[in-house]
Amino acid sequence: MKFIGIIPARYASTRFEGKPLADLCGKPVIQRVYSRVASVLDNLAVATDDRRIYDAVTSFGGVAVMTSDRHRSGTDRCLEAYDNLMSDADVVINIQGDEPFVDPGQIRLIMDCFADEETEIATLALPYPHDGSYEGLENPNKPKVIIDNNNNAMMFSRSVIPYMRGVDRAEWPAKGSYFTHIGMYAFRIGILRKITSLPQSSLELAESLEQLRWLQNSYNIRVAITDRQTIGIDTPADLEAARKMFLSDEK
């Protein structure tokens, strides 16, 4: 089975314009991401709609491909990049371009899901700590996922799911089992072609979670459990925190 990693990267961002090119201790963020993914995947490319990002990636020896600026999501951009690269890979892994500390082990976990021929889509989830706060659990920027007994996703939500009836909310993390979703996806190429042709669904529009479109159309999403939290860069403050973390890791 052949895998290709595709890293969607846009220059425009309402919260942090140009973040793929922001300096992270001497190298742009996109290079930090690319280098970590390349330790696992030889077949790898950045998909962008901006010539500045394209030039930056090729200047450090990476592979980049230009894509349309009209895509609704990184998933759509991945499919165009796959076709533009004339790839023959069986599975496309969509890797976030703003997570410079992406764990190579997580990429291997998601690849392992496809040892099962029934896996259509795969993603990752992180157990929420039992000593964590309810305030942290209810953060709508950290979607939650419910997983069935066969490790398939049943539901994603920005709300806290499941609801624990008769239990004080402050005790939910300690008394329940919760999983937060990590937004790395992998798709068999045939499935990727199908889901990118689907119209947005009611659940997707309600929660602004693309994966709900796939569930609502009866596609299975296999969930692998990781013990590593990913760290994304959404704002200049996040970048500063990443710089401190990077320097700390180098010591």
**All residues at 6 or more sequence positions from 145 whose CB lies less than 8 Å from its CB, including other chains:** 125, 153, 154, 155, 156, 179, 180, 181, 223
Domain boundaries, the chain: 1-102, 117-182+190-229
Q: Which fold has domain 1-102?
A: Spore Coat Polysaccharide Biosynthesis Protein SpsA; Chain A (3.90.550)
Per residue in 157-212, pLDDT (tens digit) is: 999 999 999 999 999 999 999 999 999 999 999 999 999 999 999 999 999 999 99
- Superfamily the domain 117-182+190-229 falls into: Spore Coat Polysaccharide Biosynthesis Protein SpsA; Chain A (3.90.550.10)
3-class secondary structure, 65: strand
Going through 52-165 in order, the beta strands assigned E by DSSP cover 64-66, 91-94, 121-127, 144-147, 153-157
Tell me the H-state helices in the chain: 29-38, 51-59, 74-84, 104-112, 134-137, 172-175, 189-195, 202-207, 211-216, 236-250
Query: Is the full-model pTM beyond 0.85?
Result: yes
Same fold, 1-102 and 117-182+190-229: yes
Nearest residue to 123 via CA among 77, 168, 179:
179
Nearest residue to 96 via CA among 222, 202, 181:
181
**All residues at 6 or more sequence positions from 51 whose CB lies less than 8 Å from its CB, including other chains:** 66
Per residue in 70-93, pLDDT (tens digit) is: 888 889 999 999 999 999 999 999
pLDDT in the model for residue 71 = 84
**pLDDT of 35 above 70:** yes
